[in-house]
């Protein structure tokens, strides 16, 4: 009997020790997980309340999506009732919700501009002064990406190149932050510094660049009559007065009886589709397809030249490079397809999606929604491919250090060869034929 009682006692004691051990391990494991595991749910308290949509919230939501929006309003209400710092900024929540919605769309560039972002974008596009580093950027991707540096800007002086990605700003990692928000961290008051951590294709490691912000002025058009009798015109953006300013510059140049024309679209990040069509129309006869828009239905919608162009006969070449994007590619692609101009430089950026630009009510910014993709008159896709130049010329580091513009030199040589009936120069070096991924 005593042995049985002793065994029972030992079993009981052993059971207690096992339970105690499991409890300790469980608690310890929870402590370890809560303290050291990178989990979003570590330290979360039990559910304390439900926050279903209010009657007003439900009634303000269209009937056909009320069920879909229940978790949205529930999250909205929980933030307002539980967030540690109150009151919550409703405008910031609204803007974040719109930005998140646009980020879920994967085809083309879909974006949201806050009122200030909208103003900054319009100022830069239309040649107005603004303060920042002076670069056209792409917010469609994981990181803010340089399309091109504006001529004479701090970004150009710092050596930023098309394709450079900003992975940290002032030492803070921006992975996972929408590029449109990162852009706000880059612009700022003239005279202040910003440290950009740059990821560049071909460089084994990221590197830091410190840039002093400045007031940026972007003239839409620059032009001159060269001593060799060739007219030169550079178009920097396709803002709302691009065609009017280009037309005026062309008339002034043509009055001086130039032998030929160079249209420079290098580092032109694009702009309005309507301006791209209008600019191309200056060099093409009336009724020519400038660009097709291909919609989700598979339908191709042509956009034709408008006629009354002032430079439809003069021999010309177009300069482009990896910073030539969007409307620049529309113009260059049309002139190349019709053999109206020889393209010289490097492969263009490859931005060929069409956005409807919609300003929101009550001055709350704007959204751009991709509705189609652009195709050249010969139905070549631009998006993520770009345009291959007829004559490939790359400006090397040695050229930059020596102050040589070998692409411009090749443009002059090509025009002189055409005028004199001689063979045009060949590509130098061997052209790159593999499209960008």
Q: Which of 103, 123, 337, 405 is catalytic?
A: 337
For the record, the structure tokens of 275 come out as: 């301006």
The CB density around residue 181, as the number of other CB atoms within 10 Å, is: 17
Q: Which of 305, 326, 328, 353 is catalytic?
A: 326
The CB density around residue 406, as the number of other CB atoms within 10 Å, is: 17
326 is annotated as an active-site residue: yes
Q: Name, in order, each residue with C-beta under 8 angstroms of 360's C-beta and a sequence gap of 6 or more.
A: 366, 367
DSSP 64: G
Place of tokens 């008159």: 377
For residues 262-271, b (16+ Cβ closer than 10 Å) or e, as one string?
Answer: bbbbbbbbbb
23 is annotated as an active-site residue: no
Write the DSSP assignment of 185-235 as a string of letters.
HH---TT-EEEEEEE-TT-SS-EEEEEE-EEE---SEEEEE-TTSEEEEEE
Q: Which of 140, 294, 305, 351 is catalytic?
A: 351
Task: Of 236, 238, 291, give the one whose Cα is nearest residue 264.
Answer: 236
208 is annotated as an active-site residue: no
Question: In degrees rounded to 5, what are phi and psi of residue 221?
Answer: -135, 140
Write the DSSP assignment of 336-362 as a string of letters.
HHTTSSEEEES------EEEEEEEPGG
For residues 80-107, b (16+ Cβ closer than 10 Å) or e, as one string?
Answer: eeeeeeeeeeeeeeebeebbeebeeeee
Q: Which residues are designated catalytic? A: 326, 337, 351
């Amino acid at each position: 009997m005593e042995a049985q009682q002793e065994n029972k006692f030992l079993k009981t004691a052993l059971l207690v020790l096992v339970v105690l051990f499991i409890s300790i391990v469980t608690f310890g494991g929870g402590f370890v997980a809560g303290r050291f595991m990178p989990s979003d749910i570590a330290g979360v308290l039990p559910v304390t309340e439900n926050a279903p949509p209010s009657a007003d919230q439900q009634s303000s939501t269209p009937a056909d999506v009320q069920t879909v929006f229940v978790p949205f309003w529930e999250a909205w209400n929980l933030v307002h009732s539980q967030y540690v710092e109150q009151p919550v900024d409703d405008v910031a929540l609204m803007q974040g919700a719109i930005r998140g919605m646009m980020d879920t769309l994967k085809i083309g560039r879909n974006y949201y501009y806050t009122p200030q972002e909208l103003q900054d974008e319009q100022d830069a596009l239309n040649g107005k002064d603004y303060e920042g580093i002076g670069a056209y950027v792409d917010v469609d991707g994981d990181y803010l990406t340089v399309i091109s540096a504006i001529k004479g800007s701090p970004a150009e002086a710092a050596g930023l190149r098309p394709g450079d990605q900003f992975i940290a700003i002032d030492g803070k990692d921006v992975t996972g932050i929408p590029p449109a928000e990162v852009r706000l961290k880059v612009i700022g008051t003239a005279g202040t510094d910003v440290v950009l951590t740059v990821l560049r294709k071909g460089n084994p490691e990221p590197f830091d660049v410190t840039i002093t912000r400045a007031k940026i002025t972007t003239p839409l058009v620059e032009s001159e009559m060269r001593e060799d009798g060739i007219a030169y015109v550079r178009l920097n953006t396709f803002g709302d007065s691009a065609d009017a300013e280009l037309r005026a510059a062309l008339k002034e140049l043509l009055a001086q009886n130039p032998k030929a024309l160079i249209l420079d679209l290098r580092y032109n990040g694009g702009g309005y589709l309507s301006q791209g069509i209008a600019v191309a129309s200056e060099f093409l006869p009336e009724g020519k397809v400038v660009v097709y828009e291909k919609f989700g239905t598979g339908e191709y919608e042509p956009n034709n030249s408008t006629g009354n162009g002032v430079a439809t006969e003069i021999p010309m070449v177009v300069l482009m490079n990896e910073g030539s994007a969007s409307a620049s590619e529309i113009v260059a692609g049309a002139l190349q397809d019709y053999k109206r101009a020889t393209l010289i430089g490097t492969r263009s950026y490859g931005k060929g999606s069409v956005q409807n630009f919609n300003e929101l009510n009550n001055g709350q910014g704007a959204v751009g929604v991709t509705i189609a993709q652009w195709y050249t008159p010969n139905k070549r896709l631009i998006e993520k491919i770009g345009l291959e130049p007829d004559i490939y010329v790359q400006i090397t580091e040695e050229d930059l250090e020596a102050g040589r513009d070998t692409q411009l030199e090749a443009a002059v040589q090509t025009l002189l060869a055409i005028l004199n009936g001689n063979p045009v120069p060949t590509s130098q070096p061997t052209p790159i034929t593999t499209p960008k991924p």
